Amino acid sequence: MVSLPDFISSTGRTVPVELRRRRGTRHLRLSYSLENRIVVSKPWHCSYRACQKFIEQHRAWLEAQIGSSPEVIGVSEWLKQSPFLTVGGSRMEVGLQTSSGERAGYLIFPEQGRIEVKLPESGGQHALTQVIRKLAKQALSERTMHLAGLHRLHPSRISVRNQSSRWGSCSSKRGISLNWRLILVAPELQDYVILHELAHLTEMNHSKNFWRVLNGYDPEYRTHEEALGALVPQLMRVIG
């Protein structure tokens, strides 16, 4: 991946530019990523000068994208705005506490609908990120196994990752991968993604039969899919 000079908007905002060279690409293409970066895909032998000229030709479009896109924020900022996480099919309030200890951790109180996150005084953003990612791995793995059991399904593996644009995936080896950010969404939306990937254990495609299977698991899947799609621009810009 190669970078071009940063793009400076009319408001003075500096935006990184990434250049991607791909064999088989016949035309210059421009996109604005969920990491708030300008991405230029170019034919293999296209010059850097041509790429910069192409960017300037599309300045108006880029200005609109930059102006309308949410900012990238850390998970600590997100929790200040919305101090809730979805665990075990329930929306729970999150409380942050600092301690004199050196280790970060969390405690879940299901009956109280509360999660207490403990952070060392010197931990900062990094410690919180580590805790939330650890919690997401536990919560999403357990929820997936619970839902799989209800439908008598058997994924070979469950992993929780930091995907940049996808909520989840299912491999040909029956392994399910989920985006850690699913811990931030409402219970019904989290379950929708998990059930979507579980449905792929029966149908490894998006055929009519796949949607029939998914409808049996989640009759409201269309509504959930639409609601989740509306959250992509904001949630995928949460760093964790």
pLDDT, tens digit (0-9, with 9 covering 90-100), for 109-140 = 999 999 999 988 776 778 899 999 999 999 99
CA distance 110 to 197: 26
Query: How are the residues of the chain apportioned to helix, strand and coil, as percentages rounded to the nearest 5?
Result: 40, 30, 30
Token pair, residue 124, equals 């900062």
Looking from the CA of 48 toward its CB, the CA atoms found within 13 Å total 7
Handedness of CA 115, 119, 125, 129 (dihedral sign): negative
* Predicted confidence (pLDDT) at residue 165 exceeds the cutoff of 80: yes
CA–CA dist 161, 173 (Å, integer): 17
* Average pLDDT estimate for 206-223: 97
Going by the DSSP 8-state scheme, the letter that residue 240 receives in this structure is -
pLDDT of residue 134: 96
The position carrying tokens 């690409």 is: 25
Question: What is the pLDDT, as a whole number, of residue 186?
Answer: 98
Closest alpha carbon to 127 in 160, 105, 149, 112: 105
Per-residue pLDDT tens over the stretch 9-29: 999 999 999 998 877 778 999
∠ at Cα 100 (137, 124), nearest 5°?
50
Q: Which of 149, 155, 147 is nearest to 204 (CA)?
A: 155
Q: What residues form DSSP beta bridges with 85?
A: 92
Res. 31: pLDDT tops 60: yes
Whether 73 and 238 have beta carbons less than 8 Å apart is answered as yes
What average pLDDT score do residues 165-178 get?
96
Q: How far apart are CA 136 and CA 79, in angstroms?
A: 14
Q: Where are the domains of the chain?
A: 2-68, 74-239
- CATH superfamily of domain region 74-239: Metalloproteases ("zincins"), catalytic domain (3.30.2010.10)
pLDDT level of residue 79 (50, 70, 90 thresholds): very high
User: Quick one: pLDDT at residue 2?
Assistant: 63
- Give residue 22's pLDDT: 73
85-117 pLDDT tens trace: 999 999 999 999 887 766 889 999 999 999 999
pLDDT band at 238 (very low <50, low <70, confident <90, very high): very high
The tokens describing 233, both together, are: 């621009």
Compute the mean pLDDT over every residue in the chain, rounded to the nearest whole number: 93
In the predicted structure, residue 194 carries a pLDDT above the cut 60: yes
In this prediction, residue 143 carries a pLDDT of 98
Distance of CA 114 to the CA centre of its chain: 23
Alpha carbon distances (Å) from 179 to 41, 71, 141, 150, 213 = 26, 19, 11, 22, 22
Give residue 45's pLDDT: 84
pLDDT of residue 232: 94
pLDDT at 34: 87
Residue 1 has pLDDT above 70, yes or no: no
